[in-house]
Structure 1
Amino acid sequence: MTATPGRTDARATATSAPPSPKAPAPPPAAQAAGRAADSLRAALLILACIAIATIAGHAAGASPKLILAAALVLSTVCCWAVGVLPEPTTTLLFFLCAVVFHIAPPTVVFSGFSSAAWWLMFGGAVTGVALRNTGLALRLADRIFHQRANRYTQVIATVAATSVGLAFLMPSTTGRVLLLMPIVLALADRLGFGPQSNGRIGMVLTVAAASYMPPATILPANIPNSVLLGAASSLYGINLSYGSYLLLHFPVLGLLKTLVLVWLVCKLFPENGPMPPQQPADHAAMSRQERLLAVILILAVAGFATDAWHGISPAWISLTACIICLLPGVGLVSSKALTEQVHLVPLLYVAGFLGLGAVVESTGLGTAISSALLHWLPLAPGHTLGNVGALSAMGAALGLVSTLPALPAVLTPLAKDLATATGLPLETVLMLQVPVFSTVFLPYQSPPIMIAMQLGGVGLRHGTRLCLALAVITVLVLLPLDYLWWRALGWLH
């Protein structure tokens, strides 16, 4: 593309950006988040959780070990939800306490690091580095956005479609956000959308929402469904199929929700000014590295799509692509790039979620919680609509007190007892988690959404407006349609 005077060229801006884009300067509240007072607040929250677990445990006649496990799980979930400690600090504290107090064996506590979900995330992170460093990401952006920025609606639709489409290539939501955000911000600058303008806010929030919500319906695309994949396999021996998962969830909660998202962003953050004309793209020949990476990605996607036929988990396909990118002589990701650009925090997060679920299961805490829920929830075999509604409401309530990536780790150990109480097949009960963790009521429930908003300089108020509005439409319109779709496919009777 040729730069126009007075306007920033998207290719030049994105190329000059560092591989890991820096967030804008944090507001005063964020700067104060590192104060010593936060440690005191965290200690008080943990003490309150211990007190609640102790009182409830004694009232229920639970054993001391079960009470200790409940205190640890409740404290960890509350610290993740409230954010009094950074997520990696909370996760490491969970690992330490679980091992030191002998709540579960180390093989259980650290089982997340050996799970398919963890290696799926790791492989996706390395693939994302390769996409950025080879320039293939920028080439794809030129192809996608050229001549598709003539109207604001077209811009938002293209950003949304790109965010969702990239989920078929990159299993890491954070990786997709880190890849797309500098490209989208450069495009916003070129279109004249300055900071705090509706156009810029709309584009950033489209990346944030479309990178997490619709991809929840694509099996190896984000943390919650990866956790569900690993937990279903390790706890019940159920291997979720890529094709059946996609068919069940994507038409309504993926495709239709994307269309609703585009419409909603254009309504909440309208931009009616004229769009500047686009310059013709300069299509240079693909480099050897770009061609090689394109072949690797095509083969990986083909492997993801045919896992029901060959039986190889998407995690190991992702890891294979990762190893090829790291091979000397291939030259797609160097050791230095691996060290500097593969982010540790999301990987710790995944291991913590999976370890939490394993502790809930191994200590018997899951059985105790399920017994209490089964006593309280109006569940009965033969009442399909009521059962689905009750399970969805329970999941939504748990999702508000914890982040959504943790939800499968909490709910999956309860699935067998819930299936017995409702008369629904176990796999159906597992799949019912997807409509819950794909619905975001508040931005804090999804760490990738918060990361995208921070990178794009968009405040919490704007993100909350979009999430709440989309959640209302989802509950009132999309979930009833999804229920009918499940019945049409024979998953519900």
Structure 2
Amino acid sequence: MLKEAGMARFKEITVALVLVLAVWCGVTMPLGMAGDQAAIFGIVLVTLSLWATGLVPGYVASMFFFTALLLGGLSTPDVVFSGFTSSAMWLIIAGFIIGAAITISGLGARIGGLTRRYLSRSYPVLIGGLMLVSMALGFVMPSSVGRAAVMVPIGMALAEVLGLTKGTTGRTGVAAVIAIGTNMPSFAILPSNIPNVVMAGLADQLFDVHFGYTEYLLLHYPVLGLFKSAVIVGLVLVFFPARLTAPQDQPPAPEPPVGGKQGLLLVILLVTLVFWSTDQIHGINPAWIGAATALVLMVPQFGFVPQPAFKSAIDVGTLFFIAGALALGVVVNKSGLGDIIAREAFAWLPMQPGADFRNFMSLALIGAGTSIFTTMPGVPAVLTPLAPDLAAATGFSLEAVLMTQVIGFSTVLFPYQIGPFIVAMGLAGEAPRRLLKVTLSLFLLTVLFLIPLDFLWWKLLAVI
């Protein structure tokens, strides 16, 4: 009780201090901000503090964000509510419905039972195996939210089979490794995460610089994909320890053949997966593919998601939280705050031609720092236009400077910075703030070890 009271008081003090800082920013208009920009910056700071501390539920913080901006006349409704109209939001809603269908039909429990024989040897094998499957999906599915929508119901069903029930640290560990594993390694695969695609598209549009799939993979996957994933597995095992309590010495009862409703659902999901995996060919947004699948599953005659199940499947609080997280980056970029923050960081960092390691670290930290305010998809939109200036300051090639963005926007400090983290944890019924211990530790280890290791790898490849 005393520990909980102390933590609550710490959260209150933290938010109060941030509130004072926000008021100071609004009054003094630092860094050459205009009045509206300073006010927006203050609102962003308070919102971030509420999300980071968990002092209030995430959806309450999002409502504060929406309301403060609109009442203050600081932004327009189409920008403030852009999270609700984003394709990511509709992929999330589709994910809720797909997850409900998998659970209600019993298909999730069946798949969990089938995979149990391979992943039930121990808790570390379970966590490592789920990470490997999540990494593999990154090569065939272009959407991290889509990957989470596939993996979360299966992972949660498997956790239930192995005795990791709701409220246990082991279940949270399963949710955490899926949330991070379906997103973080895929930053090293060019078409598999939104920031990657935005960066490559802007590089092509602004500078006529083209990045190939193989060169991108070779440069980033060894460290950001393989090494970082191994570190993530280790952190999940440390922060969410558990033992598998389901009996391991008894083989599972043989499953009856798939048929009826489960068979039809499996066919629908396989067709969906094929369309998700080939979006580079047909050009249909993964969100609209998910929406079409959700529509089929909602048809009453099929009975996959009855009306009562639909009402319980859609977590409105999670949707509000995600809408706020998605809109924050848009608001920051539209207001011009992103450029101010990035240029100020650029001015303070010690970059000069010839100091390769210091320059490399500085460029990576610019991306990581910018993402705290813009969230990940906003980083390339802010930093890519600055690439020629950064190249001149460091002596790196334009291509190398652009590629360092990947290190920056894949180095996350808080869970809210990556929308798919929030989505996956929401689909799993776990609080996103449970990831905070992992993300903070991963940030520290990345700065101390993985970025220097990446520097050596880039040197070996003669990129810098």
User: TM-score range, shorter-chain basis?
Assistant: 0.7 to 0.9
* The one of 258, 278, 287 aligned to 1:315: 287
User: After superposition, where does 1:123-138 map in structure 2 within 5 Å?
Assistant: 123-138=94-109
Q: Which one of the candidate residues 36, 39, 51 is aligned to 1:65?
A: 36
For residues 286-309 of structure 1, what are the alpha-carbon distances to aligned partners after superposition, in whole Å with 9 as ceiling and x for unaligned?
A: 232222222222222222222222
Say whether 1:407 aligns with 2:361: no
Q: Structure 1 residue 54: deviation in Å? A: 2.7
Corresponding residue for 2:110? Answer: 139
Q: Which residue of 2 aligns with 1:277?
A: 249
C-alpha contact 1:159 1:203 (8 A) present in aligned 2: no
Q: What is aligned with 2:23?
A: 50
User: 1: distance between equivalents of 2:338 and 2:299?
Assistant: 43
Q: What is aligned with 2:146?
A: 171
**Number of the residue aligned with 1:366:** 338
SS in 2 for 1:309: helix
Say if 2:65 and 2:324, in contact at 8 Å, map to a contact too: yes
Aligned to 1:215: 183
Q: Which amino acid aligns with 2:146?
A: P
Could you tell me whether the CA contact under 8 Å between 1:357 and 1:410 is conserved in 2?
yes
Give TM-score scaled by structure 1 length. 0.70
Relative distance call for 1:164 and 1:358 in structure 2 (3 A) is same
**Are 1:300 and 2:253 matched, yes or no?**
no
CA distance in structure 1 between the aligned counterparts of 2:201 and 2:223, rounded to whole angstroms = 25
SS in 2 for 1:419: helix
Q: Which secondary structure does the structure 1 equivalent of 2:183 belong to?
A: helix
Residues 252 and 359 from structure 1, CA distance in 2 versus in 1: closer, same or farther, beyond 3 angstroms?
same
C-alpha separation between the residues in 2 aligned to 1:130 and 1:394? 42
Aligned residue number for residue 3 of structure 1: none
1:329 matched to 2:297: no
> Which residue is 2:93 aligned to?
122
Post-superposition offset of 1:142:
0.9
Residue of structure 2 in register with 1:420 after alignment: 388
2:65 partner SS: helix
Partner of 1:110: 81
Instruction: Say if 1:80 and 1:87, in contact at 8 Å, map to a contact too.
Output: yes
Residue equivalent to 1:23: none
TM-fit CA distance, 1:469:
6.1
Distance 1:472 1:65 in 2: 34
Q: What's 1:90 paired with?
A: 61
Q: Give the drift of 1:45.
A: 4.2
| C-alpha spacing 1:98/1:184, structure 2 compared with 1 (3 Å) | same
Structure 2 distance, partners of 1:163, 1:54, is: 47
Cα distance in 1 between the residues matched to 2:365 and 2:158: 38
1:354 to 323, 326, 333: 326
Deviation, 1:354, is 2.4
Alpha-carbon distance in 2 for matches of 1:264, 1:83: 21
Q: Which amino acid aligns with 2:63?
A: L
- On the 8 A contact 1:243/1:306 being kept in 2, the answer is no
| TM-aligned CA deviation for residue 106 of structure 1 | 1.0
1:77 to partner: Cα distance:
1.8
| Alignment pair present for 1:377 and 2:357 | no
SS for the counterpart of 1:128 is helix
2:4 corresponds in structure 1 to: 29
8 A contact 1:225–1:434 mirrored in 2:
no
Aligned AA (2:316)? L
> For the structure 1 residues 93 and 264, does the alpha-carbon distance in structure 2 shift closer, same or farther, using more than 3 Å as the test?
closer
Give the match for residue 19 of structure 1. Answer: none
| Structure-2 separation of matches of 1:143 and 1:212 | 23
Deviation at 1:349, TM superposition (A): 2.2
Q: Distance in 2 between matches of 1:308 and 1:32?
A: 47
Classify the secondary structure of the residue corresponding to 2:146.
coil
| Residues 64-112 of structure 1, C-alpha deviations (whole Å, 9 max, x = no match) | 2222222222222222223332211110111111112111111111112
Counterpart code for 2:274:
A
User: Quick one: structure 1 residues 160 and 451, their matched pair in 2 at CA, closer, same or farther if it must change by over 3 Å?
Assistant: same
Q: Secondary structure at the match of 1:333?
A: coil
Deviation at 1:340, TM superposition (A): 1.0
Aligned equivalent of 1:6: none
Task: Tell me how far apart the structure 2 counterparts of residues 43 and 158 of structure 1 sit (CA, whole Å).
Answer: 43
Aligned mates of 1:258, 1:53 — CA distance in 2: 41
User: Within the alignment, does 1:391 sit opposite 2:363 as a pair?
Assistant: yes
Asked whether the 8 Å contact 2:91–2:287 carries over to 1, the reply is: yes
Alignment check: 8 A CA contact 1:112 1:351 kept: yes
Q: Partners in 2 of 1:115 and 1:225 — Cα distance?
A: 15
Residues 152-161 or 259-268, more deviating: 259-268
Letter in 2 for 1:144: T
Counterpart secondary structure, 1:54: helix
Alpha-carbon spacing, 1:38–1:411, altered in 2? closer, same or farther (3 Å) = same
**Structure-1 residue corresponding to 2:129:** 158
Paired with 1:332 and 1:474, the residues of 2 have a C-alpha distance of 43
Tell me the alpha carbon deviations over residues 126-146 of structure 1, each in whole angstroms, 9 at most, x when there is no partner: 221221111111111111012
Q: Matched residue of 1:329: which SS? A: coil
SS of corresponding position for 2:375: helix
CA pair 384-44 structure 1, distance change in 2 beyond 3 A: closer
Q: Does the 8 Å contact 1:381/1:422 carry over to 2? A: no
Q: Which residue of 2 aligns with 1:100?
A: 71
- The verdict on how the C-alpha distance between 1:130 and 1:248 changes in structure 2, with shifts beyond 3 A counting, is farther
**Aligned-residue identity in percent:** 29
Q: Confirm or deny: 8 A CA contact 2:185 2:228 kept in the other structure.
A: no
Instruction: Return the alpha-carbon distance in structure 2 between the equivalents of residues 285 and 86 of structure 1.
Output: 44
Contact 1:42–1:79, Cα closer than 8 Å, also in 2: yes
Matched residue SS, 2:376: helix
| Change over 3 Å in CA distance of 1:333–1:339 after alignment to 2 | same
Check 1:129–1:363 CA distance in 2 against 1; reply closer, same or farther (3 A cut): same
Task: Between 275-284 and 155-164, report the one with greater CA deviation.
Answer: 155-164
Report the 3-state secondary structure (helix = DSSP H, G, I; strand = E; otherwise coil) of the residue aligned with 1:408: coil
Where do residues 187-198 of structure 1 align in structure 2 (5 Å cutoff)? 187-188=162-163
**How far did residue 241 of structure 1 move?**
11
Shift of the alpha carbon at 1:149?
Answer: 2.9
Report the secondary structure of 1:171's partner residue.
Answer: helix
Three-state SS of the structure 1 residue aligned to 2:162 is helix
CA distance in 2, matches of 1:113, 1:237: 28
